Structure 1
């Protein structure tokens, strides 16, 4: 495939209400600028911009800015900034083939070779079959005797604070084969660190089918399972099968097994959790319970993930001292959750369940690893605002022309949020605000009391859960911007917090 095939000039619109919609501002000029920058990034730069394994976020930032309506000059400026810190991609010592696929897994020197391998695979087999084979098949996770060591590809997919999932998710969401190939190559460059969370029975051993037949069947099945008409307007807060994710979260909070433990290195808190066999077994048990009876109810699980991970980051980050700990690691639980529906659309039901299981278990492990922050919903709602903008930065609109003399309001609090996110130099800000804005659109009709049905068992409830409503997303977006700085409006830059929640 040449670059024009890997990065098509026309990006198709979202095919489901579950996927983020594009903001006004996307046009021919911004799209052309986006595609040229993505091509250049694909050809020139490595997936890590340093030898510590820090990820090249160039494609993430550009795609987030573009879909939020960022102009061509803004995209050009963002790419010029990102180029200054990147490492050049180097030729790998040898090519990657099916025969030596597992030999160089976890070795970033072979990133380019894996990238070439997946470009060929996508061209030959298509997107659906490539994802099925290399992420969700038994063979490429637990092996079949022909690959040597176990590849554990789905485990690598959620490594590195779940960055490979983000990259592949962008490729699938926007229909860009080059981004998808980069994400799969990035998956191969990560170590398999959380294999203890991999559950073998979720990967059925299937006969190898003709790839074209598999791609056709997968496309048909995913269109049936994930369609714009399958999700009820106001599904019951009590799940029809399996406990709600927020119920599981309440159980984790009350389980002494998960009491906070400060690791030697707080940035290695995730792997510290995985070293405790008892904790791992309980996390797997919770993931099993959460998915019990899920087939036919997949979309509800997407929504549960959205609420749980935003609650972990936002409510968990709002401390008793009424300050916001914008934890860098739990923030990634928010941004990664956005891509789960896109990925699920591309694969069949058995793969959807494997994805949901490993992602849910990984989310819980990160939450526990960061110190299991308290979830005080009452404190959060009593002390946060839907006004978002700090008082000193507000320019409210007078309603005198409407006959309401002296009344001033903020017209739409999301507009200054997105405007500031577009402008902010931190590349995570547009990603997290895009996610929160999408959830506010998708779940904006969830009113206080919606989750009251989860309160039947007092031992499995989050305190003040009845207060939880769709303003959660706006409140968390405002807290995030205040912590990182309303820089467009003149505030100094803030920073993500990395110290965890071990002193609470």
Structure 2
């Protein structure tokens, strides 16, 4: 049984995207995830990269990895991780006082303390009450953690989604702890957009996320707000030089509770459009390394929607925050022109099973590509019931475009330049080769 301290992987829920899951892999996945939880820090290296071993294991497991393949992937990537830090019992006890809780935020040395704190909260109050109290009540305490969950290129949100998908309180506790030690880059942006949205008349709001991307692209002030030299192009660019313009678009995004399923599909479609379309012909197809995180985080919202202890209004709120972060990413990357012709013209198609096997056995995969592949496959599944309405209903990526995009993703990781970063800047493409014959 899965608890706040013990991981136990069993059969996935129907809402979870899987393909040919091997029953014998569940015990190995459980063992690996427990080992990672107990022995590794949430960041590694001097640049404090995020620990991806949870995402790696659950993604490969969901795509049909064997026990040996799971262990090989884990052994390959665990060597770079930093060891777990000790728990300071004095700090854990102090965190129970919310007036002192905030004093420990943003410091990754407190990750083990936050992990212990949230594990005890789940054990004492239950998972649902812990999530609602520390993320969703709307008070300063909950907002201070929630905005951090949407920071760090959505890594804490991805970990939270994995915990929800697989019914793992221990992973959810880790996601809350990870959130607590993130810098709250989007704090004022998200809360301001929420305040502004409450004051807007309904006829000024839209659920069309793709439409907002197109409008941002046409806004010269916003598109030029981030500069190549900015260290963090959201924080130092868009949110510093054009906060009012960004707020104008973010506050207009709104989801009606009655159309939540369609809104989730529209969000997924918009992230696929943004991620797959940020190309620069005639340069070779490459995927934007930041945008894939928006796409990867899209997978979990169907599982979040199924939770009985989260209200519909909070499910709407989480989705609205997700899209507002997606469009901020897009603006911060200089709003690249989105072109689908490389996807639509692709001909040499592998089937899904072939691509899943390629990623499971890829020798240098750190799970980013596998997560993106799974997100594309999930997108096809979730969007299919809605996409016949096409662009008028907020869907650009339709039909065979999903599997074509997945094939292009596989093709793009064949050399050392697997990704492009900040794809709206021409400087990001300088070292990329042109496509053959162009």
Settle same-fold status: TM greater than 0.5.
yes
Residue by residue, what CA displacement relative to the aligned partner does 1:333-354 show, whole Å, maximum 9, x if unpaired?
A: 1101112332343321222232
SS of residue matched to 2:104: coil
Aligned to 1:502: 425
Q: Which moved more, 1:118-127 or 1:3-12?
A: 3-12
Q: From 168, 181, 184, give the equivalent of 1:189.
A: 181
Aligned to 1:285: 248
Alpha carbons 1:134, 1:140 under 8 Å: kept = no
Aligned to 1:334: 295
Q: Partners of 2:346 and 2:235 in 1: how far apart? A: 33
Aligned to 2:376: 436
- Alpha-carbon distance, 1:499 to partner: 4.8
Q: From 25, 37, 41, give the equivalent of 1:42.
A: 37
Q: Partners of 2:165 and 2:2 in 1: how far apart? A: 19
Aligned to 1:248: 212
Residue by residue, what CA displacement relative to the aligned partner does 1:284-306 show, whole Å, maximum 9, x if unpaired?
A: 333332216x1221111101111
Unaligned runs of 5+ in 2: 196-202, 428-438
Report the CA distance shift for 1:200/1:254 in structure 2 as closer, same or farther (over 3 A): closer
SS of residue matched to 1:276: helix
Superposed counterparts of 1:93-492, under 5 Å: 93=88, 94-96=90-92, 97-99=95-97, 100-141=100-141, 152-199=144-191, 242-261=206-225, 263-265=227-229, 268-276=232-240, 279-291=242-254, 294-316=256-278, 318-321=279-282, 323-346=284-307, 347-377=310-340, 379-385=341-347, 387-389=348-350, 413-424=351-362, 425-426=364-365, 427-444=367-384, 450-453=389-392, 468-485=397-414, 492=415
Q: Partners of 1:194 and 1:77 in 2: how far apart? A: 37
Alpha carbons 2:226, 2:238 under 8 Å: kept = no
Per the normalisation by structure 1, the TM-score is: 0.75
Q: Partners of 1:131 and 1:453 in 2: how far apart? A: 36
Report the CA distance shift for 1:75/1:308 in structure 2 as closer, same or farther (over 3 A): same
Does residue 7 of structure 1 match 2:6?
yes
Q: Partners of 2:220 and 2:239 in 1: how far apart? A: 17
Q: Partners of 1:310 and 1:77 in 2: how far apart? A: 30
- Alpha-carbon distance, 1:58 to partner: 0.5
Report the CA distance shift for 1:140/1:123 in structure 2 as closer, same or farther (over 3 A): farther
SS of residue matched to 1:297: helix
Report the CA distance shift for 1:242/1:275 in structure 2 as closer, same or farther (over 3 A): closer
Report the CA distance shift for 1:3/1:21 in structure 2 as closer, same or farther (over 3 A): closer
**Larger-Rg structure:** 1
Alpha carbons 1:270, 1:365 under 8 Å: kept = yes
SS of residue matched to 2:101: coil
Q: Partners of 1:275 and 1:315 in 2: how far apart? A: 24
- Alpha-carbon distance, 1:475 to partner: 2.0
RMSD of aligned C-alpha atoms? 2.7
Report the CA distance shift for 1:356/1:445 in structure 2 as closer, same or farther (over 3 A): closer
Q: Partners of 2:274 and 2:211 in 1: how far apart? A: 13
SS of residue matched to 2:258: coil
Q: Partners of 1:477 and 1:382 in 2: how far apart? A: 12
Q: Partners of 2:404 and 2:235 in 1: how far apart? A: 31
Unaligned runs of 5+ in 1: 143-150, 204-238, 390-412, 455-460, 486-491
Alpha carbons 1:49, 1:87 under 8 Å: kept = yes
Q: Partners of 1:33 and 1:74 in 2: how far apart? A: 10
- Alpha-carbon distance, 1:369 to partner: 0.8
- Alpha-carbon distance, 1:322 to partner: 5.2
Aligned to 1:211: none
More helix by share: 2
Alpha carbons 1:262, 1:502 under 8 Å: kept = no
SS of residue matched to 1:70: coil
Report the CA distance shift for 1:450/1:319 in structure 2 as closer, same or farther (over 3 A): farther
- Alpha-carbon distance, 1:371 to partner: 1.6
Query: How many residues align structurally?
Result: 410
Q: Partners of 2:259 and 2:155 in 1: how far apart? A: 27
Q: From 56, 61, 71, give the equivalent of 1:66.
A: 61
Q: Partners of 2:320 and 2:382 in 1: how far apart? A: 23
